[in-house]
């Protein structure tokens, strides 16, 4: 009876892979590259459970007695509030170091490594926002408690990418088979880059809509092509509006243009208006990482396809799921 | 037996009115004008219960699992600390955005409407302090969770007025029949204006004591007169000290005077000293919205009639009551 | 049967003394001079219990429903985070006024006494950090709830001294009989002064290692000598490294020297390197109040004798113990 001696959980390689990719206890969350499809699916199942729990009951005691340090070297009210809410809705507590770090002893010549090794003495996990690329990796190397990267400069902001993808899945019920258009500043937009990387794991069609000077970097475009995805670039959102299942909109900043006349000429091609939305599918979603400054007109807000504030809420659920997972309570 | 088919709660119009004015579930608290006498009485009963609970037990679990966002565009340690304490004493949690909002993404060109629609995704209620008049109304229009106005510039600060009136009722056992003197800057003092408006619902005598250039605005004076109250103005607190049941003191700011000699000449008429208090009734109270800067001498602090720190404590009870009420837990 | 009528707890004077010095309910923690050996022993027993509780369970409900106000006029992320963690690990809540106090109404001309009398209305205890010597004493005089001094300028920082001594006891199992070397800036180092004062209650040998211009103040040296301790001063840490059970290292600041050449000449005498540590005992500890800026080389961090981050963690346990004690829950 060989079946009895073989642990069924390890009966085949696939099974093993799922187990590996879904056990996050004690792990750091630093990059979207940590997540394969099984990992993503697992995070989304947990996040969906959090959503149902909050909608029905409002809170849980899952992380009661646990302490999260939110260490923000740059202010980011939106992100820090989301993590604080996530921790508190799970019954946990927060040490909020979200403002003025630059004035305190933490930054008076002390290395990030020492600051992290100090704060880990008090807390069960650390969320870090820092202006320098690679800072989250350094923090994780020195920390004995899980570190979650909440943005390391031009580097990554993985929880944002996860909430973006989770929103697509929640809004449209699936990811495979969708036509997804990224609109705006595709060159510098960290959220666009991370979401695009996650999407290379799925069978999606991608459309990149940007001014010439703000096109997706070549290295990313090559990753998309290597993944075998159907991809095309264009200069006008009007070209993609009819077929898109997802419009992921980011801001085209005036400051990127040396010639302001050029900016004025093209800006209209990247603005989402109620009129434009008349050409869109009935079942599709508009997303935005926020804050917006005019690139989606306020007249669009009442449109049921406007998903950007639901997207914000999903951010709380994703962070609840991740916190529970890294603290071994998922 | 018609009585059996008639719901006794709706037997007459008075009963209906009370019910209407005392159900605050899901409501915003924006202005003192939302409160009729029944509503005020109801708030005070709830606040008194909170006081007894805190004195006996210290805390409750009434709002366990609920999250309050404190969004302060202007720092106000006193008010934010009061709301934080109120929420925490009821077992709830807080997202404290009380410092440095001006530096973060929240204010980088994002509209108040978008900020509110973001934060409501995380929280069950929002307390807003903002420098612009009407901001709390805008926030409430966009928020699906209750908004409490904690000061909107030259507009209102309703919880301050409620705690002021509650203090009078707690200290003297009643409001009708009292002689109430407002002292100091009656022209610009937001707390004086709101408290005066609330008092027009009661049968009180009002005395307004101020320098000529800081007299109560005409529109408010007319409201007081229209309410049929006994009212008189004077330039010297010595004129009212003997009969007042309540002295509500505010600061006369030097900056209001173009002629500093004039300021020096009159300032003594609005200062409360131990000597002055010898002429006051044995049972009366001195109140002040705080902070004070000399207008009530420190020698008065030991006087049992000095109610200003008890007034601070009442602020916590009023805010506990309002939070429980708007969250449907009163 | 006289034994039955005599309360055994008050059977002799020694017993009574212990009781007196270990009942901290409602007391302020302002200075290390409040603690005799019995008091210190009692605090350390409580802190050790906290450590075991955190290691095994992570948290407790001992202070559930209690509110601590952290009022920091100077930012000190390390200390405020430690107090916040301590309160939260015991199930209590915090009003964090840890940043930007200088911008808010609290500091707009309001006296510390009034601020304290306001905040005590909301909270069960107050932790104060203030740049002026004596400020904690003033706060305590006006507060009806316990005040804990978290640093009053050039004055004291008693919880730091307690955590330093506790670390020695935890790391080496005893204090009596140890050889303890203080290294670096002994003239201005507040932590050195407070720890030295506490050590005069024990039977220890003290070595003071500093540049000539940063020697221990005479008044403190005389206290040490009056206590009958074996004491010696030197200019080079190499002189003490072989025999020291404890190296308590602080920073020698370049700014203290008018002649920079002199600084460069002596700085090496106060730096702890892996090479230097080869001459130290196998069982000894290096401590530092942190933050460090180079005076202990990073190569030393992996040395098991490097106790400075464990020292940070002990700070949380000491503060948990003190909070429980002053709130009558020890």
pLDDT digits (tens, 9 = 90+) for A218-276: 999 999 999 999 999 999 999 999 999 999 999 988 888 888 898 888 888 999 999 99
Of all residues in chain A, the percent with pLDDT exceeding 70 is 91
Residues contacting residue C16 through CB under 8 Å, at least 6 positions apart: C10
Question: Half-sphere exposure (CA, 13 Å, Cβ side) for C170?
Answer: 27
| Contact criterion met (CB < 8 Å) for B105 and A77 | yes
CA distance A149 to B94: 23
* C309 closest CB neighbour out of A66, A103, A121: A121
CA distance A42 to chain C (A): 27
Q: Which of C130, C157, C197, C319 is catalytic?
A: C157
Report residue A44's pLDDT band, with 50, 70 and 90 as the boundaries.
very high
* B122 closest CB neighbour out of A82, A99, A298: A82
Residues contacting residue B3 through CB under 8 Å, at least 6 positions apart: none
Q: Show the CA angle centred on residue A164, arms to residues A160 and A169, nearest 5°.
A: 145
Tens of pLDDT, residue by residue over B87-108, are 999 999 999 998 766 555 555 6
Q: What is the pLDDT along chain C (330 residues), one digit of tens a residue?
A: 333 333 333 334 444 444 457 789 999 999 999 999 999 999 999 999 999 999 999 999 999 999 999 999 988 889 999 999 999 999 999 999 987 665 555 556 789 999 999 999 999 999 999 999 999 999 999 999 999 999 999 899 999 999 999 999 999 999 999 999 999 999 999 999 999 999 999 999 999 999 999 999 999 999 999 999 999 999 999 999 999 999 999 998 888 888 889 888 888 899 999 999 999 999 999 999 999 988 999 999 999 999 999 999 999 999 999 999 999 998
For residue A92, pLDDT over 90 is answered with yes
What is the predicted pLDDT for the residue at B266?
A: 86
CA dihedral A97, A100, A101, A107 (to 10 degrees): -160
Longest dimension (CA), chain C: 79
What is the predicted pLDDT for the residue at B107?
A: 54
* Greater model confidence, B256 or C212: C212
pLDDT, averaged across chain B: 91
3-state secondary structure of B254: helix
Report residue B15's pLDDT band, with 50, 70 and 90 as the boundaries.
very low
Residue B194 · residue B161 · CB < 8 Å? yes
For residue B18, pLDDT over 80 is answered with no
Judgement on whether residues A192 and A280 belong to the same structural domain of the protein: yes
What is the predicted pLDDT for the residue at C294?
A: 87
| Contact criterion met (CB < 8 Å) for C89 and A67 | yes
For residue A152, pLDDT over 60 is answered with yes
| Contact criterion met (CB < 8 Å) for A99 and B96 | no
Q: B195-225 b/e with 16+ CB inside 10 Å = b?
A: bbbbbbbbebbbbbbbbeebbbeeebbebbe
* A81 closest CB neighbour out of B65, B97, B109: B97
What is the predicted pLDDT for the residue at C16?
A: 42
Of all residues in chain B, the percent with pLDDT exceeding 90 is 81
3-state secondary structure of A255: helix
* C105 closest CB neighbour out of B78, B99, B310: B78
Judgement on whether residues A103 and A251 belong to the same structural domain of the protein: no
The stretch A157-170 carries a mean pLDDT of 98
Of all residues in chain A, the percent with pLDDT exceeding 90 is 80
| Number of structural domains in chain A | 2
Known active-site residue A79:
yes
Q: Which of A22, A69, A79, A98 is catalytic?
A: A79
For residue B11, pLDDT over 90 is answered with no
Known active-site residue C251:
no
What is the predicted pLDDT for the residue at A101?
A: 61
| Contact criterion met (CB < 8 Å) for A291 and B110 | yes
Report residue A9's pLDDT band, with 50, 70 and 90 as the boundaries.
very low
Residue B253's CB is within 10 A of a number of other CB atoms, namely 15
CATH code at B248? Answer: 3.40.50.1370
Judgement on whether residues A145 and A170 belong to the same structural domain of the protein: no
Report residue A2's pLDDT band, with 50, 70 and 90 as the boundaries.
very low
Judgement on whether residues C172 and C293 belong to the same structural domain of the protein: yes
Judgement on whether residues A300 and A185 belong to the same structural domain of the protein: yes
Q: What is the DSSP letter of B217?
A: P
Judgement on whether residues C144 and C18 belong to the same structural domain of the protein: yes
Residue C206 · residue C199 · CB < 8 Å? yes
CA distance C184 to chain A (A): 18
Residue C82 · residue C319 · CB < 8 Å? yes
Treating both helix axes as pointing N-terminal to C-terminal, what angle do A218-226 and A190-199 enclose, rounded to 10 degrees?
10
CA distance B322 to B47: 8
For residue A106, pLDDT over 70 is answered with no
> What residues of chain B have any CB closer than 8 angstroms to a CB in chain A?
64-67, 69, 93, 95-97, 99-101, 103-106, 108-110, 113-115, 117-119, 121-124
Residues of A in contact with C290 (CB under 8 A): 110, 114, 118
Known active-site residue C25:
no
What is the predicted pLDDT for the residue at C101?
A: 62
| Contact criterion met (CB < 8 Å) for A95 and C75 | no
What is the predicted pLDDT for the residue at A230?
A: 97
What is the predicted pLDDT for the residue at C171?
A: 98
Q: Which of B22, B46, B66, B79 is catalytic?
A: B79
Known active-site residue B108:
yes
Judgement on whether residues B290 and B178 belong to the same structural domain of the protein: yes
Q: Note the residue count of chain C.
A: 330
The stretch A291-318 carries a mean pLDDT of 96
Residue A159 · residue A150 · CB < 8 Å? yes
Residues contacting residue C266 through CB under 8 Å, at least 6 positions apart: C211, C235, C252
Judgement on whether residues C148 and C165 belong to the same structural domain of the protein: no
Put residue C184 in one of left, alpha, beta given phi > 0 → left and psi -120 to 50 → alpha: left
The stretch B309-326 carries a mean pLDDT of 98
Q: Which of B51, B66, B89, B129 is catalytic?
A: B129
Judgement on whether residues A322 and A285 belong to the same structural domain of the protein: no
> What residues of chain B have any CB closer than 8 angstroms to a CB in chain C?
57-60, 75-78, 81-82, 84-85, 88-89, 91, 96, 99-100, 290-293, 298, 309-310, 312-313, 315-316
Radius of gyration of chain A (CA): 21
Judgement on whether residues A178 and A302 belong to the same structural domain of the protein: yes
Treating both helix axes as pointing N-terminal to C-terminal, what angle do A77-89 and A308-326 enclose, rounded to 10 degrees?
50
In 3D space, the residue among C22, C84, C86 whose CA is nearest the CA of residue C51 turns out to be: C86
Residue B306's CB is within 10 A of a number of other CB atoms, namely 18
What's the pTM?
0.92
* B118 closest CB neighbour out of A58, A78, A89: A78
| Contact criterion met (CB < 8 Å) for A75 and B117 | no
Chains touching chain A at 3 or more Cβ pairs under 8 angstroms?
A: B, C
Residue B323 · residue B125 · CB < 8 Å? yes
What count of CB pairs under 8 Å joins A to B?
Answer: 75
The stretch A133-148 carries a mean pLDDT of 97
Residues of A in contact with B93 (CB under 8 A): 88
CA distance A237 to A241: 6
| Contact criterion met (CB < 8 Å) for C78 and A118 | yes
For residue B172, pLDDT over 50 is answered with yes
Judgement on whether residues A182 and A130 belong to the same structural domain of the protein: no
State the burial class of residue B94 (Cβ atoms within 10 Å of its Cβ: 0-12, 13-18, 19+): buried
Judgement on whether residues C177 and C295 belong to the same structural domain of the protein: yes
CA distance C161 to chain B (A): 30
Residue C124: which domain range? 2-157+313-326
């Amino acid at each position: 009876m060989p079946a009895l001696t073989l642990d069924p959980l390890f009966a085949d390689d696939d099974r093993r892979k799922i187990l590996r990719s879904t056990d996050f206890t004690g792990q750091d969350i630093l990059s979207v590259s940590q997540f394969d499809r099984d990992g993503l699916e697992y995070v989304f199942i947990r996040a969906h459970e959090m959503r149902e729990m909050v909608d029905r009951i409002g809170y849980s005691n899952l992380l009661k007695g646990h302490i999260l340090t939110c260490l923000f070297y740059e202010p980011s009210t939106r992100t820090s509030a989301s993590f604080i809410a996530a921790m508190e809705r799970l019954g946990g507590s927060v040490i909020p170091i979200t403002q003025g770090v630059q004035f305190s002893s933490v930054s008076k010549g002390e290395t990030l490594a020492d600051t992290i090794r100090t704060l880990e003495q008090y807390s069960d996990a650390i969320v870090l926002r820092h202006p320098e690329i690679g800072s989250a990796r350094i923090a994780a190397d020195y920390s004995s408690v899980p570190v979650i990267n909440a943005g390391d400069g031009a580097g990554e902001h993985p929880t944002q990418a996860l909430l973006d993808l989770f929103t697509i899945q929640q809004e449209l019920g699936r990811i495979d088979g969708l036509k997804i258009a990224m609109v705006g500043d595709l060159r510098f937009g960290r959220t666009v880059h991370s979401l695009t990387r996650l999407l290379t794991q799925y069978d999606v069609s991608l459309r990149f809509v940007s001014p010439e000077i703000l096109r997706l970097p070549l290295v990313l475009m090559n990753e998309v092509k290597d993944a075998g995805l159907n991809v095309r670039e264009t200069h006008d959102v009007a070209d993609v509006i009819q077929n898109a299942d997802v419009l992921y909109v980011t801001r085209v900043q005036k400051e990127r243009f040396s010639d302001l006349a050029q900016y004025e000429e093209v800006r209209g091609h990247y603005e989402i208006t109620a009129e434009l939305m008349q050409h869109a599918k009935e079942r599709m979603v508009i997303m935005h990482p926020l804050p917006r400054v005019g690139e989606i007109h306020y007249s669009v807000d009442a449109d049921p396809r406007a998903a950007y504030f639901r997207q914000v809420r999903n951010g709380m659920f994703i962070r609840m799921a991740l916190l529970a997972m890294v603290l071994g309570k998922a």
